[in-house]
Amino acid sequence: MIYILRVALREFAENVKTKGFWIGILIVPILITASVWVGNLLERTKPTRHFVLVDPAGHFAGPVDEALVRIDARAVLQELGTYLRQHVEPGKLLQLLPDSGASPFESGEEALGRFTGEDDVALDWFVKAGGAETVLAALQVVLDPEAPPFVAPRPAFRRVELPSGVDPNLEPEALAQALKPYLRGEGKIEVDGAPAELFSAILVPADALTNIPSGPASAAAPIQYWSTNLADDDLSNEVERSINEELHRRAFEEYSVSADEVRRIQRFEAPFTELDPKKEAGEEQVGLADKIRQWAPVGFVYFLWLAVFMNAQMLLNNMIEEKSNRLVEVLLSSVTPSELMLGKLLGIAAVGVTVIASWVVYLLLFLEYKAEAEWAFELLRVLKSTGLVPMFVVYFALGYLLYAGVFLTIGSVCNTLKEAQNLMMPIMVIMMVPLVTMEFIPKDPNGTVARVLSWIPIYTPFVMMNRAAADPPLVDRAGTLVLLVATTVLVLAMCGRIFRVGVLRTGQPPKLVELLRWVRNST
């Protein structure tokens, strides 16, 4: 046993010195941080998109401008909500909000909770109240004296005039030809005295309202949206929505129906609640915590896959490196092949546990830091109150031993990474199945596919981890765990026999028949 521990300690010490180890330590914290802050940073650095709108009849310029105001107000409202949650006391918020008609808020806490930009009622109120300047002016007396100035996000879109020299009275086809050089970046428009790029052009035919109110609008030519950036469709969607709303409003007027009343009626919503029959009486209502509990295992499955693959790959690379430089022969002069194999498994497992522990600690600290956000608070509570973390540890240990034994065996019979890659290809195909089914299984956690995959040992760690939130039957939990343990022991025993023969072997990798003969005859 002492030799196994010495080999394990050597493997651990050698691997923690490598760049790969520290990259593994940092990769998940970087990804978690980037997913939250980099997205916001990129959105802030996104330039204002300039576009022209040619509407000879003047039907849609006003509605489009109003839509742009709401787009900007939505972004400002969301940013303002974050600012207020950090620098104002919720209990004093409601009494200081400017009176601009009926306030949609019942309390200061509710006001902060609805400063997200997603609530249309709150957005209407915010626009009518005068925007961020009016709200902030009213809140100065309760803002933290050391609070930094509020910086509103830049406008996402801005309507500009046609480039000089382009005649707005041209037919749409000729006008589009005149604007193409600007849309392709070959020419610049002038905005506030500085050159700028033209992002898009919207060309509205003069007869866009031909069939109102006798039937659906059908212009002689369609409304044209020109842009070389097909990925950013926010502007086209918003312009299309605002134009359609204006068409509907005009149709309502033709039929003597108040558009405001229609809009008010469209906001009516039936009270709807989700209930879980498995919960205690009086607590059946499904909340955010329940949805997080349902989908949190998916994240654990991804981390489990990443951890198992990363550590097994590390084990494979180490084995091939030591075999190619003949270091393994020196090691085998002091320990037996079995001791070397088990020591390597334990040493790399210790490296994996260290990496995973760093991930879990960072995740918990990150959620503590972001606990003011409801999703972070609920996710933290789910992690602390459920058995997801201990279950993750168990399935990582068994999944690692199962796959690492196979990877180590491949390394023992190969002399180069190129040879190993040929043998690894079938294993990589097998390992892709948990990722492919990762999002499907939570939707049908006790269905046929999920239960069948659970009883296949190579998939058990991933699938059972994914089914954790659905409380699978006891026979599945206990039976698959027993089968997984038995399979892991059997695989390690078989791999040990191959390892004893293959670790000192040179030349071409053995065929499958030869490997089976080693398993049968090795003693």
In terms of phi and psi (left: phi > 0; alpha: psi -120 to 50; beta: otherwise), the region of 225 is: beta
pLDDT of residue 271: 66
For residue 436, the number of C-alpha atoms closer than 13 Å in the C-beta half-sphere is: 9
CA distance 461 to 481: 9
pLDDT of residue 373: 65
Domain extents in the chain: 2-34+287-521, 48-271
Question: Mean pLDDT, the chain, as a whole number?
Answer: 78
Extract the tokens encoding 304: 């489990």
For residue 206, the number of C-alpha atoms closer than 13 Å in the C-beta half-sphere is: 6
CA distance 198 to 161: 10
Rounded to an integer, the average pLDDT of 271-286 is 67
Extract the tokens encoding 259: 């558009």
Extract the tokens encoding 484: 């997984």
For 473-511, write each residue's pLDDT tens digit.
Answer: 889 989 999 999 999 999 888 888 888 777 777 767 777
Return the percentage of the chain with pLDDT > 70, whole number: 82
Rounded to an integer, the average pLDDT of 413-421 is 76
pLDDT of residue 40: 64
For 436-471, write each residue's pLDDT tens digit.
Answer: 887 788 888 888 888 899 999 989 988 888 888 777
Of 154-168, 214-228, 412-426, 488-502, the range with the lowest mean pLDDT is: 214-228
CA distance 458 to 444: 20
Q: Are 304 and 462 in contact (CB under 8 A)?
A: yes
Q: Which residue did the predictor score with more confidence, 393 or 452? A: 452
pLDDT of residue 89: 64
For 300-337, write each residue's pLDDT tens digit.
Answer: 788 778 777 777 777 777 787 777 777 777 777 778 88
pLDDT of residue 99: 45
Of 166-180, 226-240, 312-326, the range with the lowest mean pLDDT is: 312-326
Report pTM: 0.61
Return the percentage of the chain with pLDDT > 90, whole number: 5
For 106-125, write each residue's pLDDT tens digit.
Answer: 444 455 555 655 566 677 77
Rounded to an integer, the average pLDDT of 126-149 is 76
